[in-house]
Chain A
Amino acid sequence: MGKINIILKRELSSYFATPLAYVFIVIFLMLTSVFTFYLGNFFERRQADLLPFFDFHPWLYLFLIPAIAMRLWAEERKSGTLELLLTLPINLRDAVIGKFLAAWLFTGIALLFTFPVWMTVNYLGNPDNGIIVASYLGSWLMAGSFLAIGSCMSAVTNNQVIAFILTVVVCFLFVVAGSPMVLDFAHKLPQTIVDTIASFSFLTHFNAIKKGVLDIRDLVFFFVMIAAWLIATAVVIDMKKAN
């Protein structure tokens, strides 16, 4: 745990060492608000909830999270520091978890900085804050899953741009798996297959949490996703190392 902590701190501070983190945060905050107020018609709906705010999170994450995740391993590999990192007295597992946790915490910070929207809705009416807390948690878990996928994709290639594109593609598949366009298309397939496809959708699970209900199935799904993609990251790095 101590070693994971060391990596986490090193990685997290490296985020804030460059202007990239601040640019990311500004863009994230502005985009969430633009989407909420213009596409989601937050003010015109006149309902004191944050549905229009959270509705766009999966689509925002689809492009913003790969941007954070792409450098996780690809950069290390390209600059040759990966070998150095692996020769240090830490094992691969610690490195993978530490790097992931740092990125996840960073997205958590960005998410926390959206609190003005929460304050706004509390000023305008009396929202159900329980639902908002659940939605934030769901959003953060979903961000974690996006990051874990990104981590694996970043390990696959040493080109950050390719890592970005790969992450976007894989994440997109996981997002749309539960959307009507896929489910309508899969309508002719047996119900079990349709249900299975839908059960792998970030959207389905996030929407369920967004209602304000923390179902063990949704929580386990996101944790399984994170764990599985992190294991895959380790396996891929190990494979590459063997090469």
Chain B
Amino acid sequence: MTKRLFSSAGLIVLAAVVLIGVMLVNSLFKNLRVDLTEDNLYTLSDGTRNMLTNLQEPVTLTFYFTNKASEDLPFWRTYAKRVRELLEEYEELANGKLTLNVIDPEPFSEEEDQASEAGLQAVPVNLGGTELYFGLVAKGQAKESAEESITFFQPDRENFLEYDISKVIFAASQTKKPKVALVAGLQVDGGYNMATRQPTDPWMAVSQLDQLFEVERLEDDTVEISDDFDLLVVIHPKELSDDMQFAIDQYVLRGGNTLIFVDPLAGQDTGGGMMMAMGPKSSNLEKLFKAWGVTMDSKKVVADSGYALSISQGSGKRPVRHLGILGLKQQAFNTEEVVMVELEQINMATAGAIKAIEGASTKMMPLIQSSTEAMLMDASKLAMMSDPKKLYDDFKPTGERYALAARIQGPAKTAFPDGRPEKKAEPADEKSAPAATTESPLDNSESADTEAVMEETGEEDTVEQTPPPVGSEQVKPESTEAAEVIDEENTTTVENAAASSVTAEASEQEEPKKPLLAPVSESKQDINVVVVADTDMLADMLWVSVRTFFGQRIAQPFANNGAFFINAVDNMVGNADLISIRSRGQFSRPFTVVDEIERKAEDKFRVKEQELLQKLNETESKLAELQQQKQGDDKLSLSPEQQKEIEQFQKDKLAIRKELRDVQHKLGQDIEALGENIKLLNIFLLPLLLTILLVISRTVVNKRQYAMA
């Protein structure tokens, strides 16, 4: 009796132990796991983990997916499941700083209104017209925090799923617009072109920057760049003061993200404008580059016949491919980098080559590379050149791919080991010195050379240089690349653009000066610098045509230079963690065998279709011929030849249509047959075969054992 009692009690105790044990294990052992997926699909990158632990304020995520209506859409459901699981992963990692709500916006429901209020779009995903809400809204808790959203999870951005989600979470947790510091050695804000004696407009790329971020211009006498800036943009750093170089060096080493545009031959550098002193048009940050483990020869330009664009030689002459003016296509881009995704063409002019120094502590990752049909050419040759054809005389491709833009990451040491440079006497203001106009093909002048014809884009006139009224305010462009970027990337709104840009004059009236920070000799964390070896790419003439319409500047981009610039800025103002998130593995794994069968059949189908169309055209032209031959009273009636022709044509048409149907039918049949064979094999043949094999092997073993006994 005692034993029985003991046993029954034992069972109850056992049940209690299991209950408590399982609950304890669930709460104690979080994140102890092995991800066996090929691309570590369920392991968020360190960048995301860091970002989540450093969120400025809690964020609420609302995931919208039309669950019920998607019952017959396994593809979308699987993808939605993947997204949802990833979001749950985020929630788990954020230690309570992230709350995930999942909403199924059924048609005509309150949830649907909510989804559409949040800016989400219902997208038709099949021919039946089923519309899906499949998006994400992130909202920070603070009142001033922006609501960020992914309006629709595009499956073709699946590789960047983690980046996209991390970005909206990061942006929602921010309470203010990112701050960007701008150092520009060119007249990016517009000015006066002495050669044409006309005022020039601000560059469209810089105008976009002003609209999206809080941009502050820094003068050359800057001694320190505050850590308050989320990004430093340097355009054409030509003969920068030691103070400024030191300030950049320190900013970078303190972990500041920096985007630099240098150029061996800057077409937009008019040297100040006047007629004299035709100085060099190159820019470089040699000293700093060296410290960061890269070099760029400011006397060499990349000539590339693989991407050379045709430029107009003036009226009556044939356009010529210019080895120094490049239309870089997707093959030139490192598509593993988020900033390069979805870009189709970037135009560059007389770009330099960035090279990694051997044994450097940093790592250089090319973003844009030349083709293998390229070589380095003396910049002076291009500066003095009047006929682009002459460039081919000395052109010998080296087979090497040159990096035209690159990201530099890793630990680095200061370029100023002796500390802060000593103050020198005020240098003479070289910039105000007069300079001559030059013969570069990219001068901002109205010469024939400047009318670079981007043949591939079909744009004959790239720029219409219609200046706005002097002193007029910059206006918000309609349908610009910027607007597209804003929509797609869900970044900050465009409003209050003018108010956000702080001029240098305004910054001068700031509060009393703060003490300077102590110099650092090496980076505490990896530096993050992007160097682009071309400044002309930002100038309007290489990527956007701007027209003035009733006082408004209308921009029509014909290349993705602007998108690249804003992408890069957008990517870098996030934080280093966000930047470190690379593309993820594949989620969709189609049946390649079936796809191949389909592809072949489709090819066949297309050939037949082509045949039909050709025959149709031929017959129609014959008919037209016959029609022309008709004269007099015959005009209204058909001749026997025409009648015969039409009959033949209709017969042919029917015959080919039948053939087309057969091909289509065959395509379905091939796939169906494959499916049936696979089913037959798996359901009957192989299970039976395997069991028979098992029986045989067992019998053999038994016989052997019997014989041995």
Contacts and interface: CB of A to CB of B under 8 A. Distances in A.
- A and B are partners in one complex rather than unrelated chains: yes
A213 B22 contact: no
B516 interface: no
B124 interface: no
B688 A26 contact: yes
Contacts of B22: 199-200, 220-221, 224
Interface string A1-37: 0000000000000001000001001100110011011
Contact of A130 (B4, B36, B591, B678): B36
B687 A30 contact: yes
Most B CB atoms within 10 A — which of A26, A124, A126, A200? A124
Interface in B13-30: 14-15, 17-19, 21-23, 25-26, 29-30
Interface string A203-235: 000000001111111001100110010011001
Contact of B589 (A34, A47, A113, A220): A47
Which label, helix, strand, loop or mixed, suits the secondary structure of the B interface? helix
A125 B687 CA distance: 22
A149 B185 CA distance: 77
Contact of A33 (B4, B14, B38, B683): B683
A41 B73 CA distance: 12
Contacts of A134: 36
B589 A214 contact: no
Interface in B27-56: 29-30, 32-39, 41-42
A144 B112 CA distance: 45
Interface stretch (A66-74, A115-123, A165-173): A115-123
A129 B38 contact: yes
B82 to A, nearest CB: 9
A45 interface: yes
A127 B21 CA distance: 36
Chain A, interface size category, equals 35 or more
Nearest to A238: B7
B593 interface: yes
Interface in B54-85: 74-75, 78, 85
Given A43-B678, A120-B681, A224-B18, A242 B687 contact: no
A83 interface: no
A30 B25 contact: no
Given A43-B678, A239-B4, A242-B7, A131 B690 contact: no
A242 B691 CA distance: 43
Given A48-B589, A125-B591, A113 B36 contact: no
A199 B37 contact: no
A212 B686 contact: no
Which label, helix, strand, loop or mixed, suits the secondary structure of the A interface? helix
B502 to A, nearest CB: 48
Interface residues of B, number: 54
21 contacts: A25-B690, A25-B694, A33-B683, A36-B682, A37-B678, A37-B682, A46-B590, A48-B589, A120-B678, A120-B681, A124-B591, A130-B37, A130-B38, A133-B36, A199-B22, A211-B42, A211-B85, A213-B35, A221-B25, A236-B11, A239-B3
B684 interface: yes
Nearest to A127: B589
Nearest to A132: B36
Interface string B598-627: 000000000000000000000000000000
Contacts of B29: 216-217, 220
Contact of B683 (A34, A129, A225): A34
Given A126-B592, A221-B25, A224-B18, A235 B11 contact: yes
Given A29-B690, A216-B33, A242-B4, A224 B25 contact: yes
B316 to A, nearest CB: 56
Nearest to B33: A215
B23 A116 contact: no
B551 interface: no
Contact of B675 (A30, A43, A133, A200): A43
Given A33-B683, A120-B682, A231-B14, A48 B591 contact: yes
A125 B4 CA distance: 58
A196 interface: yes
Given A129-B38, A214-B33, A224 B594 contact: no
Contacts of A34: 683
Contacts of A184: none
Contacts of A45: 74
Contacts of A26: 687-688, 691
Contacts of A235: 7, 10-11, 14
Interface in B176-195: none
Given A128-B38, A220-B25, A215 B682 contact: no
Contact of A125 (B35, B593, B683): B593
B296 to A, nearest CB: 41
Nearest to B36: A130
Contact of A242 (B3, B38, B589): B3
Contacts of A238: 3, 7
A30 B675 CA distance: 16
Contacts of A242: 3-4, 7
B126 to A, nearest CB: 15
A128 B37 contact: yes
Closest 5 pairs (CB-CB, A-B): A29-B687, A130-B36, A212-B37, A48-B589, A216-B32
B655 interface: no
B36 A228 contact: no
A131 B37 contact: yes
Contacts of A30: 683-684, 687
A88 to B, nearest CB: 22
A56 to B, nearest CB: 14
Contacts of A43: 675, 678-679
Interface in A47-63: 47-49, 51
B398 interface: no
Contacts of B25: 216-217, 220-221, 224
Nearest to B38: A128
Interface string A92-112: 000000000000000000000
Contacts of B331: none
A127 B587 CA distance: 10
